[in-house]
Structure 1
Amino acid sequence: MATAKKTAAKKAPAKKSPARTAAPKDAIALLRADHKVVSDLFEQFEKTRSDARKAAIVAQICKELTVHTQIEEEIFYPAVKAALKDHELVPEANVEHASVKDLIAQVEGKTPDGEMYDARVKVMGEFVKHHVKEEQNEMFPKAKKTRLDMVALGEQMTARKQELMAARG
């Protein structure tokens, strides 16, 4: 039995290491990974009844979304807009970001206080789901067809994301 525990203990860190250290290789992979993280957090929020757990999940959602929108707005969107000569997708995405930022401001740092708090988080999740669908079905396929170096863009976005996450604690 001691051997089994040692073996299990040795395997557990090996499984966690690649997920923590291996950053997605390109910009779109990075953004898709962020979308998955946030989607999972919204699902967790829907399932929990504990106010303390809700507050913790919402804090993480707000952190993830704030950093994600910032790297998109600073790095990804300007590159895509220029490459596509876009006057629709990126401006629409920026407007969607503004709506989500408004909802973040209404819940971030607040104590869950009932149905209005829950409603704000639910609507935020719906806005994010809609936004993600448009990015993944429209913007990303068009961006992939450009001459943008998605790996270099991804490296720049990863570095900026790490800076922003560290600054947010």
Structure 2
Amino acid sequence: MDKSKIPADQAEALGALMDDHRAVKKQFKAFKDTEARDGKESIALDVCHQLTVHATLEEEIFYPALRGASDEIDDLLDEAQVEHQVAKDLIAAIEDDPAGDLLEASFTVLSEYVSHHIEEEEGELFKNVIKEKVNLRDVAQTMATRKEELMRELA
């Protein structure tokens, strides 16, 4: 999705989520490109942290703000909720044993799963939010404040 085509009252909120998506995708590539085991562990734990913060913002603030805007959005939010739970399970497995034998496999599945979620979110959910003209100005501010709190709490 092209950020320049997002309406002004949605640009800050959707843009912030898209920035998170891009940052995590770069980390997925860095993990693949890294040979050293300790480097992979570090990247994996950093991504788990970023995804935990991102999912919390969506679940606490972004998704509730969209709920009820349309039946299609509600269906996409239900699906996103299930996808988040699967991602949380993978994150927990990685965080519980980052030095374990399954790090590479778990992180690969997480990256594939999250990449799919990002495609759906940007390709379907965000487009529906734009179509329904959901005003996200206040949501953007609330998300930014909460993100700062979460980054401190989860550091």
Q: Give the TM-score band, short-chain normalised.
A: 0.7 to 0.9
2:77 alignment partner AA: V
Deviates more, 1:84-93 or 1:56-65: 84-93
Bigger Cα Rg: 1
Distance 2:135 2:78 in 1: 22
**Gapped runs of 5+ residues in structure 1?**
1-23
Counterpart in the other structure of 2:118: 132
> Is 1:26 aligned to 2:30, yes or no?
no
Note the 1:69-88 alignment, pairs <5 A.
Answer: 69-85=55-71, 86-88=73-75
User: Within 5 A, what are the aligned runs for 1:1-169?
Assistant: 26-85=12-71, 86-114=73-101, 116-169=102-155
TM-score with structure 1 setting the length:
0.80
Deviation at 1:51, TM superposition (A): 1.3
**Contact 1:45/1:57, CA 8 A, preserved across alignment:** yes
Cα pair 2:45 2:98 within 8 Å, conserved? no
Gaps of 5+ in 2: 1-9
- Contact 1:27/1:151, CA 8 A, preserved across alignment: yes
Percent identical residues = 37
Q: 1:77, 1:90 within 8 Å by CA — same for their partners in 2?
A: yes
TM-score normalised according to structure 2 size: 0.87
SS state of the match for residue 98, structure 2? coil
> What residue is the counterpart of 1:19 in the other structure?
none
Q: Hey, what's the Cα distance between the residues in 2 that align with 1:168 and 1:25?
A: 27
